[in-house]
Amino acid sequence: MQQHIHWFPGHMAKARRVIGEHLKLVDVVIELLDARIPVSSSNPMIEEITRNKPRIIALNKADLAEAEWTKRWTTYFATQGFSVVALEAVSGKGTKNLVSLVEQAAAPVIERLVAKGIRPRPVRAMILGIPNVGKSSLINRLLGTATVRTGDRPGVTRGQQWIKIGRNLELLDTPGVLWPKMEDQTVAFKLAITGAVPEEVYDREHVVDGLLTLMREHYGSMLTERYGLSVIAADNTELLSAVGRSRGCLRSGGLIDLEKARMILLNEFRSGKLGRVTLDQPEESTDSE
């Protein structure tokens, strides 16, 4: 990856300040990560930001990640002392387990209030996550209705609100969400291909070229099965042309519309139509530490 991808929007700098101001109101922090990129989708300053509040790791989009690697990530985070749950926010799978973990983590706080003679109140939690990791989809699923604005563009959610989930849980939806760690260009590339950063901050041609290299080296069978390829071309342009040809991305004169092919490949990768993919592995995180 020769291209540099940089992104630190101003509203995220403000978000950190707002998060810090509201942390004193919550009992538990839910850190929502993309199960395909648990390290790359985390905030590098999360420990400092949360000020040692009880933190639950929620691996969202688990249906898009390789199941075996998600199990390994669950074990990894557990060995680090975290409660962790794999989620599929769109379908709702894992959300009941998440609520249970939140209530368990907050139990000591509620018990201390009762011991002081204070009437028990609902558990208060804050969900933190980088753009497009699925915060609004998770809240919608917990509510059982789509009342929180969602979108497939990074940073679409604005404002803040308390959201009551049943009798025993209140969520503080925080504005602006967290920023990813963009200094490492390998991380930035993973964020780009999974849709966590806006398209205007990277060159699609370069990013798709990297995606083709990744797929060819590690997930070649997904390309052959999805696009009906007999062989995987060693040249990325040839491979992209083959993908475009299989999807009818033709211009006049029989030329392949490579830009249209790039968009199709990216969208099908992000939506899981190519198959389950995990780009971060636990060994990488221990090495980086």
The answer to the question of whether 244 is labelled as a binding residue is no
* Mean pLDDT (the chain, rounded): 87
Digit-coded pLDDT (tens) for 114-173: 899 998 888 999 999 888 899 888 988 888 754 554 455 554 444 556 788 888 899 886
- Positions of CATH 1.10.1580.10 in the chain: 203-288
At 218 the pLDDT is 94
The answer to the question of whether 52 is labelled as a binding residue is no
- Angle ∠(71,74,78) on CA atoms, nearest 5: 145
The answer to the question of whether 275 is labelled as a binding residue is no
Q: How is domain 203-288 classified at the architecture level of CATH?
A: Orthogonal Bundle (1.10)
- Positions of CATH 3.40.50.300 in the chain: 10-173
Q: Per residue of the chain (289 residues), what is the pLDDT tens digit?
A: 445 776 666 666 677 777 888 888 899 999 999 999 999 999 888 888 887 899 999 999 999 999 999 999 999 999 999 999 999 988 999 999 999 999 999 999 889 888 999 988 889 999 998 888 998 889 888 887 545 544 555 544 445 567 888 888 998 865 546 777 777 899 999 999 999 988 888 999 999 999 999 999 999 999 999 999 999 999 999 999 999 999 999 998 889 999 999 999 999 999 999 999 999 988 755 554 4
CA distance 156 to 137: 12
The answer to the question of whether 63 is labelled as a binding residue is yes
Q: Where are the alpha helices (DSSP H) in 25-149?
A: 46-50, 67-79, 95-115, 135-143
The answer to the question of whether 137 is labelled as a binding residue is yes
- What pTM value is reported for the model? 0.88
> CATH homologous superfamily of domain 10-173?
P-loop containing nucleotide triphosphate hydrolases (3.40.50.300)
The answer to the question of whether 62 is labelled as a binding residue is yes
